[in-house]
Amino acid sequence: MGNIITDLKQVFKRGNIVTRLVFINAGVFVVTSLLSVFLVLFNRSASPMLLFVELPASVSGFLHQPWSLITYMFIHADVLHILFNMLWLYWFGTMSLYFFTGKHLRGVYVFGGICGGLLYILSYNIFPYFSQAAVYSSHIAGASASVLAIVTATAYREPNYPVRLLLVGVVRLKYLALFAVLADLLLLTSDNAGGHISHLGGALAGLWFAASLSKGTDITAWINVISDGVVSLFDRKSWRRKPKMKVHYGNGRTMREKDYDYNARKKAQADEIDRILDKLKKSGYGSLTTEEKKSLFDSSKR
């Protein structure tokens, strides 16, 4: 058992942001499911525990548990719910890393979930279709809004990227994203209206992010600043006192030569990535060679 846990830790540490998000969602699901089974054995319901981390539709309920705007996007109701969400996250998250950095994807995941949750609360408190009874009894959970934000952001960045679907064949990404958005629009008055509203909020967030980034503005930067701060709290290395800086006296010419070589190598790598991105923008992803795709993918993980 110890070896399994060690292996999982290593996979998590070495994995990219997609792998880590899948691990976090799966881990939360396993923990909540085990707690639910444990409570049932004592004839207790797990509903109060889950409602504590799901996002309520009522404004007063949200004000009593504001953390739910974040926690709800990591909570899933059952195996099929998390299975489909994680498959979409893995497929489209991996795809997005060809065009965005790992931090961009992390930011879009959280930003999409936040925008989806806020649109859900806003809609349930504005439209008469959702009665007061529905507002006070409704909650949502799941990563769907976050995943759809990743899908639409990638579709905006590379609309003609080919996606192979089982029994359908190759479909351009823009049509797949459009189909998902239209499906949610048509299901706005279904039993899962809150979920579909949050999906639309996530889709809008993804488009907003990609459009802003194309103009040079990263609207998710603040999310990554906060996320990095939270992660550092759990990093044992950050707890250690930093050693005093040591001053080394050496041959100044040798050090300048090392700096020159390093800067030249970094500039060459940056020029190569810029060239690949220009080719990608002009001719599409299919025009890239295997080496160019690998270089772009390796760059996205830095």
Which CATH number characterizes residue 153's domain? Answer: 1.20.1540.10
**269 CB neighbour count, 10 Å cutoff:** 14
Number of H helices, E strands in the chain: 15, 4
Amino acid at position 3, single letter = N
Is residue 102 located within the same domain as residue 218? yes
Q: Which of 100-114, 133-147, 232-246, 281-295 has the lowest mean pLDDT?
A: 232-246
Is residue 183 located within the same domain as residue 129? yes
Is residue 173 located within the same domain as residue 38? yes
Is residue 254 located within the same domain as residue 112? no
Q: Which of 32-36, 48-52, 145-149 has the lowest mean pLDDT?
A: 48-52
Helix (H, G, I), strand (E, B) or coil at 172: strand
- 5 assigned to some structural domain: no
- 30 assigned to some structural domain: yes
- Count of structural domains, the chain: 2
Is residue 176 located within the same domain as residue 280? no
Is residue 258 located within the same domain as residue 228? no
Q: At which residue do the structure tokens 């009593």 appear? A: 64
Amino acid at position 220, single letter = T
Is residue 148 located within the same domain as residue 223? yes
Structural domain ending residue among the three candidates 209, 232, 255:
232
Task: Give kind and range of the element (H or E) at residue 162.
Answer: strand 162-165
Six token digits for residue 47 = 């509903």
- 1 assigned to some structural domain: no
Question: What is the pLDDT of the chain when averaged over all its residues?
Answer: 86
Q: How far apart are CA 186 and CA 179, in angstroms?
A: 11
Say whether pTM exceeds 0.75: yes
163: Cα separation from own chain's centroid: 20
- 226 assigned to some structural domain: yes
Is residue 150 located within the same domain as residue 294? no
State the average pLDDT over residues 123-144: 91
Is residue 32 located within the same domain as residue 176? yes
Q: How far apart are CA 93 and CA 19, in angstroms?
A: 9
Is residue 109 located within the same domain as residue 255? no
DSSP 190: S
**β-strands 55-56, 169-172: how paired?**
unpaired
Is residue 225 located within the same domain as residue 253? no
Domain that holds residue 254: 242-300
DSSP string, 13-37: HHS-HHHHHHHHHHHHHHHHHHHHH
Integer CA distances (angstroms), 174 to 127, 156, 160, 201, 279, in order: 30, 7, 6, 17, 20
Q: Tell me: the pLDDT tens digits for 255-272?
A: 554 565 666 677 777 778
- 210 assigned to some structural domain: yes
Is residue 188 located within the same domain as residue 248? no
**210 CB neighbour count, 10 Å cutoff:** 23
Task: Give kind and range of the element (H or E) at residue 167.
Answer: none
Q: How far apart are CA 40 and CA 203, in angstroms?
A: 37
